[in-house]
Amino acid sequence: MRYTDEFSQLYDNLMEGYEYILRPTQKMVYEFTQQKEKLDLLELGCGTGTILQAFPKNFTLYGLDISPGMLKIAKEKVKRATFVEGDMSKFHLRKKFDVIICVFDSINHLLEFKQWENTFRLTALHLKRNGIFVFDMNTVKRHKALVQLPAYIKKERNSLAVFKILQGDNNTYIDRIQIFMNIKRGKIELFEENIKEASFSTQRVITSLQKYFHIEKMVDAFRERVTKDTGRILFACRRK
């Protein structure tokens, strides 16, 4: 999704709580790369660079995102990284990587399963021999549960953000974000984005992944062990 520069900055200011997905992501990366001294790492759907900036200096960092507004912030935040504007389901880079990650449910922003399959295929093509792909996804179970929850409100000094998940068509869901600014100055500005996500059955995802990867590990991002109630699955896959 191509966000405006203004909304991208608001999003970067308001979004937090990445640690719960960052920690297990890094753990998987370190486990399956055996902590090599030098590693090339690409993040698909890198947003404003919050995840990338947490990796240490032995990683040469690259980020790909479809939003120029997000990339503008990422370039300032992570100056040592190389960024490319592009669609994760269509990207073609003249480089291969030791690690490719795609986290914080970025893949759920692809609304057709064919796009997921294209992403898996292209990721495998861009990995070095035995390269690792680490990604997470919101499950159908999680999306259905989030729709039932009331709106979540976050208040800052001069702003108020309201987040609500709505049911869309078929397997899609809408993350409605409303940000009210300058509340204490007598003039309220409203910024609103409706971000669509899609979820597909875990078995369908596994079957598609196995065309290109050996699935090394699957964990519940919240509880470690994957069950029928898991809301977010984190995968570690090795290129075949």
Q: Tell whether the model's pLDDT for residue 97 goes beyond 80.
A: yes
pLDDT reported for residue 119: 98
Number of residues assigned to the chain: 240
Q: Are 83 and 97 within one domain?
A: yes
Mean pLDDT: which of 13-27, 37-51, 66-80, 108-122 is highest? 108-122
Mean pLDDT of 151-174: 88
Q: Are 123 and 64 within one domain?
A: yes
182 pLDDT band (50/70/90 cuts)? Answer: confident
Q: Are 38 and 76 within one domain?
A: yes
The predicted model scores a pTM of 0.92
Q: Tell whether the model's pLDDT for residue 3 goes beyond 80.
A: no
pLDDT reported for residue 191: 83
Mean pLDDT of 209-216: 98
Percent of the chain with pLDDT over 70: 91
Q: Find the domain containing 185 and state its range.
A: 141-198
Q: Are 18 and 97 within one domain?
A: yes
60 pLDDT band (50/70/90 cuts)? Answer: very high
Q: Are 71 and 182 within one domain?
A: no
Q: Tell whether the model's pLDDT for residue 7 goes beyond 80.
A: no
Paired tokens of 55: 């990796």
CATH number of the domain within which 34 lies = 3.40.50.150
Burial letters 140-165, b for 16+ CB under 10 A, else e? bbbbeebeeeeeeeeeeeebebebbb
In the block, tokens 């992944």 appear at 209
